[in-house]
Every structure is written in C-alpha cells, then in structure tokens.
C-alpha cells in the first residue's frame, strides 16, 4: 500500500506546488536513493527492464529516485527537467494477462528518463502501458503479488493524476488539494480517457450507459484489502481538509507519519499492533506486504528546481533530509543490500524503526527527542545553503553550487547516521536490560529481525 498527495501553489506555504508520497513495501525491502546521469544510446539498443526488454530511447534524462533494490524500475523520483512522478498500487476487475509486461515501477523510471514535461511523461506511461501491459511479479519472493498502478505526475507548471486498469487508463489534471491511495479516485470528472474504455465497460456489464460514466465505480475490485485502503485514503483526505490554509512541510510530515492519532482506530499498543493499516504503516506480520519503506516530499524552487525531502523507513521514526539534484549522491544514501549493512542509511533507519517497535510507546518519545531538534537544525541550515546556492547559480557558477550542495548532503547523511546509530545502541541496551533480546514481550519480533538480517 502507498499514499500520495498533491498540494497546489495556492495552498502551499512556499507558494509553489508540492508532491509527496509514503511508499509501502514488504518488510526489510531496501530502498535507497538512486542517481543516473543523462545518457545517449545507439538506435538499436535494447533495454532490460524488470521482467522484459524493450527498445531503448536515443536519449535518457538524468534522474534521481528512490529505487527498490531488486527492481529495474523506481518507486518515485524526479529528473533534470523538474518532472516528478510517484506511484501507488491499485487493483481492478481486469483479468491477469498470461505474459509479463512492464511493472508500474518500470513505467515511473521510463517516464522520468523520457519525459521533459509532466504531460509528456504521462503519455510516455500511457504509450508503453498500451503496448506492453503491466503484468508481472511485484515482490521479490515467488509468492509476491501483481498490481495495476496510479500515478501523480508534476512539473513546474502543472500536475496530472493517471489511474490504470489493465491496459486502459483515465487521466485528470489536478488543480486543487488531492490524494491517491490504493483505491481508484477518478470518477465522472476526467480530462482524457483510453480509447474504447467505456465500450469495454458496457460490453462487460461494468457500466450502465444510462448513467454518467465513473471510472472508479466501473473498475474497482471490491476486495476487503482495498476496502481497508479506502479507509486509509479517507484519513489522508480528512487530514488534508483539516490542514491550515497554507500547508507547510511540517504538516505534510505529520500526515505521512499518521497512525489515526486521536481516533478510535488508533492502537493502544503502538502502530505495530494496529488492525487497520495507517498512512505510516507498520507490519504486524513478517510475511505480509506491509510497512513504510521511504517517504518523499517534492518541493519546487524557483532557482534549484526540485528539492526531494527524503525519509528512509517509517516517517514516524525517521528524519526528512533535503536531497538536491546535482551530479551525485552521498554513498550512505545510495548503498544497497538485500540484508542489513551498517554502511547504508536506509538500513540504519530501518533497524531503528524495528528496534523502536520492540517497545514503541516508550521508544518513540526518545527517538523524537533526538531527531526533532536535528530536523529543525537541518531545515534552518538548508535555508542558508539554498540561498547561497541560488546566488552562485545566478552567477553561472554551477560547479560551486554542486560542491556546496553535495557537501551539505554528505554532512546531513553522516549526522543522521550517527544520531540513529546512538539511538539504536541505547534502545538495544534498554531492551536487553529489561529481559534479554527476545523475552516474552518481544518474542513476536524475532521473525522481523531474522528476515532483515539484523544483529541481536
């Protein structure tokens, strides 16, 4: 499950529109950042995506994205044309196709590599979807599921949401606060529609032609899993509706870190034990598809383009770091491994989350006491650094801009790595003092540790 939100300039505190997403994946699925420079390719080159090969484009844009360790595609990201794309899973009544196609994550990466505007990127997705479909395993394990996809696609000037069912699709330009979850949201109001979609719905008794056509009503799969997703999506809409007139990054963080606080759905023993998955999702079953792996807030800037504020693992136990589109990323942010490794910031934050879940109500107070001041400090320093970078950029000093921003990102990654590592040591020592690594209270967590390859 994943949830995505869009805030137009009229509601944003910095008067530029904002795109954000919390991405959920199976437990311990490493999702560090990924950078690829712009490249030119020969006209006969084939591109190996996750499950199939397709013809390569003659030119691919530089991209910065959050990438699942085993996939070719990406979960969310931006490119050197200031296009940002996010994805979430959806399930329709369309039957499965027998052959593999492009995964939704492949489509995100292809849209970023080939699209120079939001509209062009959206039609990259549409064209490839219609040609290759989106069938195939979406989990690393053999029993992993398949899904269809929905996308938010934005650039400096506009944003679109695109929802798909099989090889069919519907698109709507987004001009007000909006969000997409694992349930269809486009109903009777849309701007573009796949050819033959309504006729297909009529032929298959999915739509009464005497009524207005609703994409969501026609193609929603009424599975109980996605009814739960509907509840989570309604929670995000309520939080957005209740937000201040000008929504800032702190408010977005609270939404991405939400566990139904203040409602009857809030778990009394921490989000790990929740019956209904929250926006900030914690898994209570190591075999289930269910915990937050990464969050991004895409903020547009007049001079620097997009700043990707990124939090690894769960938003509630993490910190959002400003990530800039330069010529590289810090190794701590990009190191990738199937199992835990201490030289990966993603794995450090994932270990901190799992450690905190051993006694969440006690641990989260300590975690936020350490991370909140550091978050504030980094945000204040980011304002100064970005102002300096903007002045350098106006003077055409691109190399100095990259050096400044790269140094700031490196410094921040190290600071968060050190703070999180100290928290892990403290929480681990307290846990062992209270009854050993896996006493009666924590025995349920052993499968999580084993799956992640964490040291006891």
Dihedral (CA of 426, 429, 431, 437) sign: positive
**CA–CA dist 310, 348 (Å, integer):** 14
Q: ∠ at Cα 291 (287, 297), nearest 5°?
A: 155
SS3 for 269? coil
| Per-residue model confidence (pLDDT) at position 287 | 59
Number of Cβ within 10 Å of residue 96's Cβ equals 9
pLDDT of residue 286: 60
**Could you give the domains of the chain?**
2-334 (3.60.60.10), 361-452 (no CATH)
Return per-residue pLDDT of the chain as tens, 456 residues: 689 999 999 999 989 999 999 998 888 889 999 999 999 999 999 999 999 999 999 999 999 999 999 999 999 999 999 999 999 999 888 888 888 999 999 999 999 999 999 999 999 999 999 999 998 888 877 565 678 999 999 999 999 999 999 999 999 999 999 999 988 999 999 999 999 999 999 999 999 999 999 999 999 987 755 667 888 899 999 999 999 999 999 999 999 999 999 998 888 777 877 777 899 998 866 656 578 999 999 999 988 999 999 999 999 999 999 999 999 999 999 999 999 999 999 999 999 998 898 888 889 999 999 999 999 999 999 999 999 999 999 999 999 999 999 999 999 999 999 999 999 999 988 888 877 666 666 666 777 777 788 877
> Would you state the pLDDT for residue 94?
86
**Structure tokens, 45:** 């080159």
Distance of CA 185 to the CA centre of its chain: 18
Q: What residues form DSSP beta bridges with 325? A: none
DSSP one-letter string for 118-164: HHHHHHHHHHHHHHH---S--SSSTT----EEEEEEE-SS-EEEEEE
pLDDT value of position 302: 87
Q: Which residues pair with 62 in a beta bridge?
A: none
What one-character DSSP code corresponds to residue 317?
A: G
Distance of alpha carbon 174 from alpha carbon 154, whole angstroms = 9
Helix (H, G, I), strand (E, B) or coil at 166: coil
Q: Outline where 166-213 has alpha helix (H).
A: 197-203
User: Left if phi > 0, otherwise alpha if psi is -120 to 50, otherwise beta: which for 404?
Assistant: alpha
* Residues 6+ away with beta carbon under 8 Å from 393: 303, 304, 401
Q: Are 91 and 148 in contact (CB under 8 A)?
A: yes
C-beta pairs of 377-380 under 8 Å, 24+ apart in sequence: 378/319, 378/321, 378/322, 378/412, 378/415, 379/249, 379/322
Stretch (H or E) spanning 105: helix 104-114
pLDDT of residue 28: 80
Q: Are 120 and 111 in contact (CB under 8 A)?
A: no
Residue 22 tokens, joined: 């919390």
Residue 256 exposure: Cα atoms within 13 Å on the Cβ side: 34
pTM of the entire predicted model: 0.95
> What distance in Å separates the CA atoms of residue 370 and residue 332, rounded to the nearest whole number?
20
User: What does the alpha-carbon distance between residue 454 and residue 395 come to, in Å, rounded to a whole number?
Assistant: 48
Alpha helices (H) in 177-324, listed in sequence order? 197-203, 215-219, 224-241, 249-256
Q: How far apart are the first and last CA of the chain?
A: 29
Q: What is the distance between the alpha carbons of residues 144 and 406, in angstroms, rounded to a whole number?
A: 37
Dihedral pair phi/psi, residue 144, rounded to 5°: -65, 155
Q: Indicate the SS3 state at residue 259.
A: coil
How far is residue 204 from each of residues 167, 207, 351, 366, 374, measured CA to CA in Å?
Answer: 15, 8, 48, 55, 56
User: Residue 60's closest CA among 82, 76, 38?
Assistant: 38
Output Rg (C-alpha) for the chain, integer angstroms: 22
Furthest C-alpha separation in the chain: 68
Neighbours of 171 (CB within 10 A): 24
Short-list 343, 381, 359, 367, CA closest to 419: 367
Q: Which of 2, 30, 49, 280 is catalytic?
A: 2
User: In whole angstroms, what is the distance from residue 251 CA to residue 244 CA?
Assistant: 9
2 annotated active-site = yes
Q: How far is CA 225 from CA 115, 178, 229, 233, in A?
A: 33, 22, 7, 13
**35 SS3 class:** strand
Do 21 and 295 meet the contact criterion of CB atoms below 8 Å apart? yes
- DSSP helix/strand/coil, 303: coil
Of 329, 332, 292, the closest CA to residue 314 belongs to 292
């Amino acid at each position: 499950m994943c949830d995505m939100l869009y805030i137009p300039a009229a509601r944003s505190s910095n008067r530029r529109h904002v795109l954000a997403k919390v991405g959920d994946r199976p437990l311990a699925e490493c999702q560090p950042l990924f950078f690829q420079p712009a490249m030119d390719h020969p006209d006969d080159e084939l591109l190996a995506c996750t499950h199939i090969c397709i013809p390569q484009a003659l030119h691919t844009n530089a991209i910065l994205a959050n990438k699942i360790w085993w996939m070719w595609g990406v979960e969310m990201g931006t490119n050197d044309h200031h296009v940002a794309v996010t994805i979430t899973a959806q399930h329709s009544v369309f039957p499965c196709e027998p052959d593999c196609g492009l995964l939704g994550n492949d489509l995100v990466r292809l849209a970023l590599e080939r699209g120079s505007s939001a509209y062009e990127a959206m039609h990259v997705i549409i064209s490839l979807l219609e040609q290759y479909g989106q069938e195939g395993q979406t989990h690393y394990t053999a029993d992993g599921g398949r899904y269809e996809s929905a996308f938010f696609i934005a650039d400096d000037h506009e944003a679109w949401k695109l929802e798909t069912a099989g090889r069919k699709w519907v698109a709507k330009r987004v001009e007000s606060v909006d969000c997409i979850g694992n349930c269809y949201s486009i109903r009777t109001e849309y701007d573009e529609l796949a050819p033959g979609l309504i006729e297909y719905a009529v032929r298959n008794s999915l739509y009464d032609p005497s009524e207005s056509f609703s994409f969501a009503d026609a193609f929603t799969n009424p599975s109980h899993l996605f009814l739960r997703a509907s509840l989570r999506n309604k929670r995000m809409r309520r939080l957005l509706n209740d937000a201040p007139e000008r929504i800032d990054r702190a408010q977005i963080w609270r939404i991405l870190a939400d566990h139904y606080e203040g409602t009857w759905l809030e778990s009394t023993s921490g989000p790990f034990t929740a019956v209904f998955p929250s926006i900030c999702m914690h898994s209570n079953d190591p075999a289930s598809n269910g915990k937050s792996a990464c969050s991004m807030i895409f903020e547009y800037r007049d001079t620097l383009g997009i700043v990707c504020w990124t939090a690894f693992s769960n938003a509630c136990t993490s910190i959002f770091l400003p990530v800039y589109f330069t010529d590289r990323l810090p190794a701590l942010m990009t190191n990738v491994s199937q199992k835990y490794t201490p030289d990966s910031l993603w794995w450090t934050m994932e270990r901190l989350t799992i450690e905190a879940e051993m006694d969440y109500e006690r641990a989260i107070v300590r975690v936020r006491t350490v991370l909140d001041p550091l978050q504030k400090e980094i945000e204040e320093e980011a304002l100064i650094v970005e102002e300096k970078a903007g002045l350098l950029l106006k003077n055409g000093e691109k190399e100095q801009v990259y050096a400044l921003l790269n140094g700031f990102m490196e410094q921040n990654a190290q600071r968060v790595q050190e703070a999180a590592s100290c928290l892990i040591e403290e929480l681990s020592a307290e846990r062992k003092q209270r009854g050993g690594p896996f006493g009666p209270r924590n025995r349920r967590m052993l499968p999580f540790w084993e799956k992640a390859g964490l040291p006891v």
